[in-house]
Homo-oligomer: A and B are copies of this chain.
Amino acid sequence: MEKRPYILISNDDGYEARGFQVLINALRPYCDIVAVAPDGPRSGFSTAFTAAMPISSRLIRKETGLELYACSGTPVDCIKLGLNRYCTQKPDLVVGGINHGDNASVNAIYSGTVGVASEGAMQGIPSLALSICDYSENADFSAVEPWLWKMVRYAIDMDMKPFTLLNVNFPKDTDIKGLRLCRKSKSRWVEEIEPCAHPYHDNKFFWLAGRCVELEPEAEDTDRWALTHGYISLVPTTLDYTNYEVLEELKAATAEGTDADL
Q: Which of A125-152 contact B (CB under 8 A)?
A: 150-151
| Residue ID in chain B nearest A178 by CB atoms | B262
CB of B236 within 8 A of CB of A250, answer yes
A150 and B261 alpha carbons, distance in the complex (Å): 8
A84 within 8 A of B: yes
Q: A54-B196, A81-B193, A193-B84 are in contact. Are A242 and B246 (CB under 8 A)?
A: no
A109 within 8 A of B: yes
Interface of A is mostly: mixed
CB of A106 within 8 A of CB of B122, answer yes
Residues of B within 8 A of A206 (CB): 54-57, 81, 85
A19-27, A41-49, A169-177 - the one binding chain B: A41-49
CB of A54 within 8 A of CB of B205, answer yes
Interface size of A by CB at 8 A reads 84
CB of B46 within 8 A of CB of A262, answer no
A234 and B151 alpha carbons, distance in the complex (Å): 38
**Closest Cβ of chain B: how far from A71's Cβ, in Å?**
9
**Closest Cβ of chain B: how far from A254's Cβ, in Å?**
7
Q: Which of A243-262 contact B (CB under 8 A)?
A: 243-247, 250-251, 254, 259-262
Residues of B within 8 A of A189 (CB): 80, 122
Q: A52-B43, A191-B84, A208-B50 are in contact. Are A236 and B240 (CB under 8 A)?
A: no
A2-10, A89-97, A158-166 - the one binding chain B: A158-166
| Residue ID in chain B nearest A239 by CB atoms | B109
CB of B241 within 8 A of CB of A238, answer yes
Residues of B within 8 A of A74 (CB): 48
CB of B124 within 8 A of CB of A164, answer no
12 contacts between A and B (CB under 8 A): A46-B46, A46-B48, A47-B110, A48-B112, A56-B205, A77-B208, A80-B189, A80-B193, A84-B193, A122-B188, A183-B244, A234-B250
